[in-house]
Amino acid sequence: MESIQRRSPIRFNRKPVQTENWDGWEVAISYGTGNGPFLIDLSHRSKWDLQDADLSRFRPFGLTVPEHPGQCVYKKGIIINRMNRTQCALWHLAGKHPKPPEETAYTETTDGHALLAVTGKDALGVMERATNLDLGASSLVPPCLLQGPVLHIPCQVVLFSRDSDEATILFSFSRGYGQAMAEALLDAGKDLGLTPGGEVDLAIVP
């Protein structure tokens, strides 16, 4: 039986030096040396949407859904992003691939949505050129969710981590915008050293 080949909507104009096949996806593990910041394609990472009138009754992957919109929880390689009263998004970011939830309230969105990360030194500087969302605001406590446009494209934006000069920002959006988004970001961050990165450049642990 022939295995299913799944393709990211994003193609960087640079060949990775190491790739692996993950469940039918060709995943860039490394592009070689570099100091960052990095733009990393995580579209292969599994994603789900959870909708219900009472989200508190769900324990996705054994985790508690955040109570308020904008809150996130990250454990066991899964981040849960509370979007509104009845909806949250779940992204698998690290570790062993989890067994998909079986309840009908979950919808897998992996193939329909791109997922990118900007990480490393000057990551916030790169994002300042692409969005009006204030990811540097002192009131934000990572990880947290903001919803708004990046390069005029509606996105779920997660400020995953932030310190004095480094940050990791994740953002998901409709896959049809993937290639245009990646090219525009690389152009916007060119003078800051933004370059394609692989899984090894994403400093996220389970």
pLDDT digits (tens, 9 = 90+) for 71-86: 999 999 999 999 999 9
Query: What percentage of the chain reaches a pLDDT higher than 70?
Result: 99
pLDDT of residue 204: 86
More confident residue, 9 or 5: 9
Which pLDDT tens digit goes with each residue over 161-187?
999 889 999 999 999 999 999 999 999
**DSSP β-bridge partners for residue 39:** 118, 196
13: CB partners within 8 A, 6+ apart: none
CATH 3.30.1360.120, the chain: domain bounds: 18-44+112-199
Mean pLDDT, range 91-105, rounded to an integer: 93
Task: Reply yes or no on whether the pLDDT at 27 is more than 50.
Answer: yes
> Where do we find the tokens 């592009």?
31
pLDDT of residue 19: 96
pLDDT of residue 2: 52
119: CB partners within 8 A, 6+ apart: 36, 37, 38, 40, 166, 167, 168, 169, 197, 201, 202, 203
Mean pLDDT, range 5-22, rounded to an integer: 94
**DSSP β-bridge partners for residue 146:** 157
Q: How many CA atoms lie within 13 A of 10 on its CB side?
A: 33
Give the closest residue to 122 by CA, choosing from 31, 5, 9, 38: 38
Mean pLDDT, range 191-198, rounded to an integer: 96
| pTM (two decimals) | 0.95
Mean pLDDT of the chain: 95
Architecture of domain 18-44+112-199: 2-Layer Sandwich (3.30)
pLDDT of residue 1: 41
